[in-house]
Each structure stands twice: as structure tokens, then as C-alpha cells.
Chains A and B, each alone.
Chain A
Amino acid sequence: MRTWAVWTALGALMAVPVVLAGLSPLLAYRDAPYIAAGLGGALALSMLLVQPLLGLRALPGLAPAQARMAHRAIGLLLSAAVTVHIGGLYLTSPPDTLDALLLVSPTPFSVYGVMATVALLLTATLVLLRRCMPLTAWRGIHAVLGLTVITGSIVHALLIEGTMDTLSKITLCTAIGVVALYAVAYGRLIAPRIRRLRARKARPRP
């Protein structure tokens, strides 16, 4: 029952904003690359909800190995969606896209999108460097980069007037923020300490 409820809520929070973006009246005035760019952005945003939960192995009904595989797959899909997002925007308007990437755009949200993109690129690089550092250090850096991706993406999305429906976008962004804070604060800072304390208590004194 709990498994079913969690996955239904997650699916609805992720799917509704993307479907509504796909029904936006603005799409009628846009070419294929621009439509793909908008949907790529909405898809990327929705993936940010499930990604921290998979990383924490916090979702019911998934074995740890499955969660790990899914976390990696979503990481790849997220990178692909962001590539489609930026590539589609470039095909639609090269000067606007270059302005954004060079941080000289008049739109206030561009810089947050670039911030999230850079953090995502660094995360991808970090994945390749997993064996080069201790796990705790790697996890710390990954958490900071992940939070940067999520913070940048939320602000970016909320400031944009585009194809996403406002209410479902705000709901999704709020959920992503809550999940990200839970993942880092509880999953990476509090829970490991509790586990360590319990393990110490359980161990018989010599």
C-alpha cells in the first residue's frame, strides 16, 4: 500500500507538469526545435524529483542495486534532456542562447540555468572520478553539486514564463526542494550519524 502510494504521488508530481507543458497553447506558435527544447527542460526538471530519492535508496519496492542502476540511468537521461533543451534553444535563436551561456542575457533566469548546467557537467565529471577519492569525500562533493543543480533549476524554472503550467510547476519545484533538503540534511548528515551511534551502542564493550 505504501509502495503504491509513494510511486503514484511521485509519478503524478513528475508527469502532470510535463503533460501540461505538452498541451500549452504556446506550442502552436513554435517550431519543432523550440518545442523539443521546452519539453526537454520540463522533463529534466521532473527528473530532479526522483533522482535524490534513488541516490538515497529511499524509494520502496526497489532493491538497492536497482535503485543504483536507476540513479545512473536517470543521470544520463537528465544530461540528455538538458542537451536537448540547450541545443533546441540554440537552433531557435543562436544570439539569445549565446547571451545566456555567456552570462550577458537580459533575462534574470538564464544565469540560474547556466549555474545548474555547469554543476551538472561537474557532476558528470565527478562520476568518472569515483575511484580517485574516498567515498565520503566523493559523496560530499556530489551532494553539494546536486544541491546546486537543483537550486539553480528551481529558480530558473520559476522565473520563466513559458510552456509550463504555473501551478503544477510550482508544486513540482516545491516537492523537488523538499526532497533535496531531506536527501542532504537527513540522508547524508543525520541518518549516518544515528546509524553510527546505534552501531556503537550495539557493539558489546570489551
Chain B
Amino acid sequence: MLKTPYYARRHFLIAAGLSAAGASMGGVLGAAEPFAPTDTMRGGSNNYRPGAPLVDKLGEGFVMAGRVLRAGDGAPLEGVRIQIWAATTLGGEREPRNHGSVLSRADGTYSLEMPQIVPNFGQPHAHLAYDDAQYQTVFLRPVMPSPTDTTLSADFILAPA
């Protein structure tokens, strides 16, 4: 049986053609920034308590994590304070024990272990803030796909203030 090598197969050729076309268009469309600044989400700042203390963790069983990058070139940002709060098994979003801050690591990642997030106002969600001088303020309100999830991620791409 005749076997066509992978590089002569129709789907490979089509894919290669499309990639080449995409790459050549990239030069034109490349102006659309790959690391555009993250927009503040609706309701993101609700029940914000500025200056949440830096903590090792707020509890156990749930991990909020993500990355902090610089707008434009996507360079990881170290030592950026991310404030996190959510309704958990400890209580609602206004419960002080549900508020804490962490600093991003050298690779831009941050994470906070906390009690399980529970549905609040109809959706299981967390709140995060970047609210310091160096970059523009961003408030996030990511929603968990399922209330039984034990992790949630949210990335910050920050633009200089």
C-alpha cells in the first residue's frame, strides 16, 4: 500500500499553508499587543478592604494562583502585592479572616492557600486586586466553573501607572 509521507499529506500542507499565511499576516497585525493590560472586571472591587495584611496562608483546602506580567513584553514581575478576598467556609466577603495579600515570585507567579471558596451572591467567585503605586489599579472577579473546584487562577498584566 502506498504511504504518503506526513509532509506531503493534504492536511499537513493545508496546515502549513495556513501557518505561513498567519505568520506573514502577523507582521501586519502584530501591532495588536500580545500582552495587553488586564481590564478591571465588573464588581471586582466589591467588599474591598484596602491594605489586606501579607499572609502565608488564610486556611487550607483551596489554592488561588496566577501570574503577574508586565504589559507589552510580558516580562514576569516580582514582588508585586496581590490582594485576595472571597466568601469561604469562614464566612462572607466582609469577614476580615477572608482577606490577605501575597507577593509575586521571581517568575511572576503568586499563590495563596485559603479555605474553600463557597458560592456567594449566586456564583462561586474570588476577588483580587492590584492596588499599589507602580502600575495601574486592576480589580478581578474570576468565577469558578464549579463550586466544588479547589483551585482558581487569575493573571494580571499590568501597565505602568
Contact = CB atoms under 8 A, between A and B. Distances in A.
Nearest to A92: B92
Contact of A93 (B88, B92, B118, B141): B92
Interface residues on B, range: 20 to 34
B87 interface: yes
Contacts, number: 57
B92 A30 contact: yes
Given A93-B47, A105-B43, A106-B141, A31 B92 contact: yes
Nearest to A34: B92
Given A26-B119, A109-B122, A159-B122, A96 B43 contact: yes
For B46, B91, B94, which residue has the most chain A Cβ atoms within 10 angstroms? B46
B36 interface: no
B98 to A, nearest CB: 10
Contacts of B121: 89, 93, 96, 107
Contact of A29 (B47, B88, B141): B88
A160 B141 contact: no
A92 to B, nearest CB: 6
B40 to A, nearest CB: 11
Interface in A14-58: 26, 28-31, 34
Contact of B118 (A26, A95, A104): A26
B89 interface: yes
For A28, A34, A89, A106, which residue has the most chain B Cβ atoms within 10 angstroms? A106
Given A29-B90, A95-B47, A160 B42 contact: no
Contacts of B92: 29-31, 34, 92-93
Interface in B103-124: 118-119, 121-124
A26 B43 CA distance: 22
B57 to A, nearest CB: 18
Nearest to A109: B122
A29 B46 contact: no
Given A107-B123, A159-B122, A95 B46 contact: yes
Contacts of A104: 42-43
Interface in B141-157: 141, 147
Interface string A97-109: 0010000111101
Interface in B28-46: 41-43, 45-46
A106 B41 CA distance: 8
Contacts of B45: 95
Contacts of A61: none
Given A29-B87, A31-B92, A93-B47, A106 B122 contact: no
Contacts of B90: 29
25 contacts: A26-B119, A28-B89, A29-B89, A29-B92, A29-B118, A30-B91, A30-B92, A89-B121, A93-B46, A93-B92, A93-B94, A95-B43, A95-B45, A96-B121, A99-B42, A104-B43, A105-B43, A107-B43, A107-B121, A107-B122, A107-B123, A109-B122, A161-B119, A161-B122, A161-B123
Nearest 4 A-B pairs (CB), nearest first? A106-B42, A95-B46, A160-B122, A106-B43
Given A28-B89, A34-B92, 5 more contacts: A93-B93, A93-B94, A99-B46, A104-B42, A161-B119
Interface of A: 26, 28-31, 34, 89, 92-93, 95-96, 99, 104-107, 109-110, 159-162
